[in-house]
Chain A
């Protein structure tokens, strides 16, 4: 009587309470994204009467199904908020601000110019005007903020991508997954120190060219930078001599085998588990200079560089033009960091997911500015990162809840329950902010959600080593309890038979 409850309590595992119902709610949530667009009509596009009739705010909802599982609704027009919003200026058709064939200009900040079409001359009604503008503004939005394909790619953690567009698959494989921090390492490879004494002002170059980009990307992730010089580091692939251009060439097939021999010598920061981006600058040795990279069509690549998805980039920098063949070796060479950083910056953009999608016809894009990143590109990245973070955190939390449910023997400590609760709260806040269109806050909450959910999922105490197959449970308990049970059972039987006998005697007495 006392033993059974006592035994139950003592062999129970400690499991703190988890907000399971909220977690299940998260699994079936609808993601709503709002982007604010301010449309400004320039003089000459609408008449004064039409101006009075243009509605001050207008909401546009669009529902997109993503594999039937998760639905997201797109934008609405409202007024005023900085990050994640856009301003579109509508200019008259005859304006000379844009070249004749271009209808849209996308600026460096969050602005765009839209030329009103020829058919929208004065005399049309407001409704027709708006109906004409709507799809064009939508197109601008798809380029500058987010499109169906972007969101689907970001949600690929929740919803398995069916092999669709080849280009989108290549894009999704190239960029690093969302992570709270990244490590960037710049390495100078000098296989021939006897001939070349290389000087590169890496600190200055990083300060001038790379740091502005990283500072701008600070809301997205933390970055830590390293640099090193490696001597006698060969490429591992023998370049072929091309007599037509009297230069050595590396063709695109052999590029795949270049990285592995070098990677073993690169090293990495042992203290962090963040993904590492490696940027290598290779200066060919004097006997194999100049060295050019050829693409599939045997054409020289202008940047003389290539990159590997989710790894980094390599650039080949030829120095044979800087000194005469009869110069005294070793020669001092200063590397032109602007040229090098130009290539590395472009590769960094690709690897971080700031991909420049091909502009639709009729679109003109502004140059990207001194930081190497336009504001609307940053917004694009923030949209897709927020959605990705929300999707990943949701998957982590739901699978953790499922796992803890399935395996009844795992101990759930209080700190894990705390992390899970905070992750759920952050996720709910992030979804709310996405709906409201506050991109900055949404990203912040989504990052908090991811960190909390990862900490909970990967907590070292959640190791399932308490696996007892049923036959082992029987094997443990039977030798303990069977000998005890036998006299108990026998005495119970005896009690029952005695009681029955007494009842029979009573019956007999009555009769």
Chain B
């Protein structure tokens, strides 16, 4: 009788456990990532490049709203627009001339600011070759199960992106940096978005797997800005990122919109330039990659089925003594004999 009850308990427990793992495994199986990171870089300085800072901050805002915490975002702004002495509305950065959306927000955490935004620091962040004294907030501590979003904006040309008006990063260096990241398994999948003139040239040279890239314009085309604000006196945002922000405002953490919708953002009629994308290195079908796989941080969770009973600690006696079943007091609920 005892054995019968014991056996039936054991068997049901086993079957219940296997089903649970199946369902949870289903959640994991599609994207393969467990955490999200974002590296958002604005490479231009000076007041008239206000729109580049606004671009970066609007992506920062969307990414935070969709769940990625500041500890997982590396934000690099080459100049300070909100507290710039030429800003008629201090402590704000607007995306639209109606001034309805202040993308600066209440809690911005800028990790690299001003002159710290250099090609060298950017490459160091990507490859992880930072001096040991660098604090945690300035590091990209991703692992092989991280999905990373990289957003670059500024002035660029055919095969290069200008940093701080004095140096440039070439598309070959960028491709090599991504390859080094892949060699060290620092990402699971990477989404690269660039909003500059001739942006498509920057992703031409990629050769590492699991990369998806979007650019605001093709080689030979300029990316144009959206509209000026006469009170502030500069152009507020670039067209591509403006419509990207509009698209992202409709996304919420449980949304099922996928990358194919992202490719449709800002067609030529709105953007004047032709946005491009590159998915040949991406192993999954872009239609199965959700927007929140990169822009948000939807955690996978599992219910904790086991506990350890610590209220009665019993030292294990000799192996032969334990085997008299009535004296066993379950410690691990999972493997126990339910003799009594």
For A269, the closest partner residue in chain B by CB is B136
A275 CA to B143 CA in the complex, in Å?
10
Out of A98, A264, A308, A465, which one reaches B323, CB within 8 Å?
A: A98
Contact of B176 with A464 in the complex, beta carbons under 8 Å: yes
For A176, the closest partner residue in chain B by CB is B143
Known contacts A166-B22, A369-B316; is-contact A177 B173 (Cβ 8 Å) = no
Residue A50 interfacial (CB < 8 Å): no
Out of A345, A365, A464, which one reaches B335, CB within 8 Å?
A: A365
* B14 / chain A contacts, CB cutoff of 8 Å: 358
For B144, the closest partner residue in chain A by CB is A177
Contact of A310 with B34 in the complex, beta carbons under 8 Å: yes
A26 CA to B100 CA in the complex, in Å?
60
A97 CA to B298 CA in the complex, in Å?
50
A506 CA to B129 CA in the complex, in Å?
70
Contact of B129 with A458 in the complex, beta carbons under 8 Å: yes
For B26, the closest partner residue in chain A by CB is A166
Residue A12 interfacial (CB < 8 Å): no
A263 CA to B297 CA in the complex, in Å?
11
Residue A311 interfacial (CB < 8 Å): yes
For B320, the closest partner residue in chain A by CB is A97
* B325 / chain A contacts, CB cutoff of 8 Å: 99
Looking at B180-188, B191-199, B272-280, the stretch in contact with chain A turns out to be B180-188
CB distance from B164 to the nearest CB of A (A): 15
Residue B1 interfacial (CB < 8 Å): no
Out of B123, B124, B131, B302, which one reaches A306, CB within 8 Å?
A: B302
Contact of B299 with A346 in the complex, beta carbons under 8 Å: no
Out of A263, A310, A345, A367, which one reaches B336, CB within 8 Å?
A: A367
Looking at A62-70, A215-223, A250-258, A421-429, the stretch in contact with chain B turns out to be A250-258
* B128 / chain A contacts, CB cutoff of 8 Å: 458
CB distance from B327 to the nearest CB of A (A): 11
A292 CA to B180 CA in the complex, in Å?
46
CB distance from A476 to the nearest CB of B (A): 16
Bits for A346-360, please: 1 = Cβ < 8 Å to B, else 0.
Answer: 110110000010110
For A168, the closest partner residue in chain B by CB is B25
Out of A98, A347, A396, which one reaches B184, CB within 8 Å?
A: A396
Residue A469 interfacial (CB < 8 Å): yes
* A108 / chain B contacts, CB cutoff of 8 Å: 316
Contact of A268 with B136 in the complex, beta carbons under 8 Å: yes
For A402, the closest partner residue in chain B by CB is B183
Residue A111 interfacial (CB < 8 Å): yes
A98 CA to B32 CA in the complex, in Å?
43
* B119 / chain A contacts, CB cutoff of 8 Å: 465
Known contacts A458-B128, A465-B119; is-contact A167 B21 (Cβ 8 Å) = yes
Total interface residues in chain A, CB < 8 Å: 89
Contact of A343 with B304 in the complex, beta carbons under 8 Å: yes
A402 CA to B34 CA in the complex, in Å?
29
CB distance from B329 to the nearest CB of A (A): 7
Contact of A311 with B35 in the complex, beta carbons under 8 Å: yes
Looking at B75-83, B87-95, B229-237, B307-315, the stretch in contact with chain A turns out to be B307-315
A169 CA to B30 CA in the complex, in Å?
11
Contact of A260 with B69 in the complex, beta carbons under 8 Å: yes
Contact of A364 with B299 in the complex, beta carbons under 8 Å: no
A107 CA to B319 CA in the complex, in Å?
7
A186 CA to B299 CA in the complex, in Å?
19
Known contacts A105-B323, A345-B310; is-contact A463 B304 (Cβ 8 Å) = no
A256 CA to B297 CA in the complex, in Å?
9
Bits for B1-42, please: 1 = Cβ < 8 Å to A, else 0.
Answer: 001001100000010011011111110110010110000000
Residue A459 interfacial (CB < 8 Å): yes
Residue B224 interfacial (CB < 8 Å): no
Contact of B299 with A301 in the complex, beta carbons under 8 Å: no
Residue pairs across A and B with Cβ atoms less than 8 A apart, 26 shown, are A99-B325, A113-B319, A166-B25, A177-B143, A256-B298, A256-B299, A257-B298, A260-B69, A260-B297, A260-B299, A263-B69, A271-B136, A295-B303, A305-B304, A308-B34, A343-B308, A346-B304, A346-B308, A356-B306, A358-B17, A366-B322, A366-B335, A367-B329, A369-B315, A407-B176, A465-B119
**Residues in B lying within 8 Å of A, measured CB to CB:** 3, 6-7, 14, 17-18, 20-26, 28-29, 32, 34-35, 67-71, 119-120, 123-124, 127-131, 135-137, 139, 141, 143-145, 170, 172-173, 176, 180, 183-185, 253-254, 297-311, 313-316, 319-320, 322-323, 325, 328-332, 334-337
* 9 interchain residue pairs of minimum CB distance: A367-B331, A365-B335, A166-B25, A399-B183, A260-B67, A170-B25, A305-B304, A255-B301, A264-B69
